[in-house]
Amino acid sequence: AYRTVKNNEDFFEIYEKAYKNHGRLYSSVESVNRPLFRRYFNKLGTNYRIPKEVKFLIILPELDVKGTYSSEIQKWLGIIDNSVFREKIHIILASSYYGVIPNELMESFPLGQHEGSIEFKYQGHAHNALNNTKFFFEKNHDQYDKIAILIPNEYLNELNELTEISKNNVIFIIQNYLTDKFKEKVFTFLTIESALGYFNDGLKDDDLK
């Protein structure tokens, strides 16, 4: 059945309804063949443009609460927003569903619920996220002078408990691809402050205005 959906994406797209961001999206790896995923993949590929003033990219990991609803991600976003060169920073969130999502599009991407764990323990689970990540960066990597990937050892979950980042988190798939492909400008950091320090290094005074 899923092969039929994948092979007839254009037909099914006509009848695939729109989803709110709390709708059920993912029940197995085959779910990524649904027209819904193709729709948002195409949204990034054809309609999206990175803000022209951007020079730097920071990629935040997916935590226990999807999207920007995590209190830890909210804290990181607040620190970034207070940076003196905020307008030069582009923020992307890692996503088990889509690979990468620009922060300014988070509200328009349905993240939804899922049944069970969707950590990528098997290569097949990583295929969609990796392909979408490759597509995005092959098109847009020249927009960034520096790319920082934030992977803390631990974070506070929604219960305010200190939690280790899982080794099966999608951020590691993204990290492996980017450091191999664009190693000269991609670095990984444990803290948001050190990532911002990497951006600040080498900036001229005029860049900070």
Between CA 181 and CA 184 the distance in angstroms is 9
Angle at CA of residue 126, ends 28 and 103, nearest 5°: 95
Length of the chain: 209
pLDDT, one tens digit per residue, over 5-46 is 455 555 444 444 554 444 444 445 555 555 665 666 666 777
Within 13 Å and on the Cβ side, how many CA atoms surround 164? 3
Close Cβ partners of 120 (under 8 Å, ≥ 6 residues apart): 96, 126, 129, 168, 170, 173
* Structure-block tokens of residue 8: 């007839």
pLDDT, one tens digit per residue, over 194-207 is 999 999 885 554 44
Between CA 207 and CA 209 the distance in angstroms is 6
Where along the chain do its domains lie? 2-208
Percent of the chain topping pLDDT 90: 44
pTM: 0.77
